Each structure stands twice: as C-alpha cells, then as structure tokens.
Amino acid sequence: MTTPQTTRGWINGFIGVVLFSGSLPATRAAVLDLDPVFLTLARAAIAGVLALAVLLISGEKRPAPSQLLSLLVVAIGVVVGFPLLSALALQYITSAHSLVFLGLLPLATAAFGVLRGGERPHPLFWLFSVIGSLLVIAYAVWQGITASPKGNVLMLGAIFLCGLGYAEGAALSRKLGGWQVISWALVLSLPVMLPLAFVYLPPSVAGVRPAAWIGLAYVSLFSMFIGFIFWYRGLAQGGIASVGQLQLLQPFFGLALAATLLHEHISPGMLAVTVGVIACVYASKKYAE
C-alpha cells in the first residue's frame, strides 16, 4: 500500500534522478580538457567545503563512532569510486554509451539494498527490474553502440561501487538523515581530497574551455551534493529497492539533455524504450513491498 511517506520518497528520488542525469554528460565535457583524477578530487573538495559550511551553519552534531564505517563506505562508493572510474571511462567512451550502463544501476542498488538494508522485495519486483535493465541494454545493442573494452570495464566498476554507496547511504539515512549522510561523507573525505586537488591542479588552465569548467561546476554542486540530498532522502522514505528503480529513467534523461544541448537526434526507438522502462518502473514499484 502506498503511504504519504512512500509518495514523498518517490518525489524526492525523482528529483535526485533528474539532477544526476546531467552527471555523465557534464563529466564528459570536463574530461575533454581536465585530467580525470583532478576532476574527481576537485568535485569532492568543492562539495566537501560546501557540506562543511552547511553542517557548521546548521549546528549538526557529529555522527556516532559506530556510523563512521558506513560513512567511509559511502565515501568510497559515491565520493571517490563512481566519480573516478566513470571519469576515467569517459576518456575511452562517449557519454551516450556510458549512460547505457546506468540501466544496470537499479539492479546493483537493489542487490546491495537486500544485503545492507535488509529489504526483501517480491520476486516479481526482480522480474520487472531485470526487464527494465535489459530494455536499456537492448536499446544500446540495437543502436549498434560500440566502445573500448577498457571503458566498459571501468563503467562496470563504477556501477558496482555506486550501487554500494547508494544502498549504504540510504540505510544510514534512516538514522542520520539524508543530507547529513552525504555531507558527513564529503567532510570525511575532505582532508584527503582537498590537498590532493591542489597537487593535481593543472600547471596551466589557459587551454581549458568554458564547457569543462561548467561541467566541473555541475558535478561538484548538483551531482556530488545537492542531488544526494534528495536521493538519499527518497531512498530512505520510499525504500532502497523500490525508489532505486527510478534510476532506469536516468539514461534517457541524460540522452534528452545531450539532445537538447548537443542537438543530437532522438529516435522513435528511444521513445519506445522509454515508455517500456517507465512501465517497468511502475510495475516494480507495485511489487517492491
């Protein structure tokens, strides 16, 4: 049965997905001119400074010692792991190709939700989740997208760590709060990420185009901080496995942004698959309890 809490979870989760949808196109724009390692360090450092300021202004008390390990897992998954591996992958593959891999993210998040969050979705939930993921993958195959094996392996690693970070953060959000989890994970990473960002600072930024700086700004503010405020809150309110299915929409939001900003063609096939994915999201939500 859908409750107001569940509905709020889906709304917050949807906002988070929309904000995350620009992450890979923005990362692609950034790594064309900036080193992937510097990009990862800089986005975490910028978001970490912002998170520290928010925590100080709000007067939040420090997390319990028993919660530090979970925060470290979140940091490894979504502050370092996914940003670094996806940025490295985008040196070898296009953002459109990388977006296809996000179709596997709901499965990864749901699996870790079972392991770390104690959730037990209905078997039909897994059926619709798998169908939705296969639709995304089939669309990519049908389009004939090819890429380097190295880029593919890096993206698979990124998806694995991201699913772990999402599920761990969502489970911790039930006790610590959604925005507090990502804030403390960023602050926990800050003593390492900030100094290293200066170490890896490019010797010259004269050749860095505005699009790269805009990409860095987007992933620092929206992908690394603001998006997680909504996302972790949504996962905690509506269920990790259930709300996590909204990630199936992220590849198509990302491709729509690429079409709008880069004037890429949106084919009828993409629209048809989008409808199918939305149907899978709706069906999986029904059986997520």
Give CA–CA dist 49/46, Å, rounded: 5
pLDDT over threshold 70, residue 91: yes
Give CA–CA dist 229/16, Å, rounded: 8
User: How confident is the model over 201-213, as pLDDT tens digits?
Assistant: 998 888 899 999 9
User: Where residue 98 falls among pLDDT bands split at 50, 70, 90?
Assistant: confident
| Environment class of 210 (CB within 10 Å of its CB; exposed 0-12, middle 13-18, buried 19+) | exposed
Total structural domains in the chain? 1
Give the pTM.
0.82
Residue 211, phi then psi, degrees to nearest 5: -60, -35
Name the token pair of 102. 């996000």
User: Where residue 124 falls among pLDDT bands split at 50, 70, 90?
Assistant: confident
**Residue span of the structural domain in which 141 resides:** 4-200+207-286
Give the residue among 219, 202, 200 at the shortest CA–CA distance from 30. 219
pLDDT over threshold 80, residue 123: no
User: Where residue 257 falls among pLDDT bands split at 50, 70, 90?
Assistant: confident
Which three-class secondary structure state does DSSP give residue 146? coil
pLDDT the model gives residue 217? 96
Mean pLDDT for the stretch of residues 102-112: 76
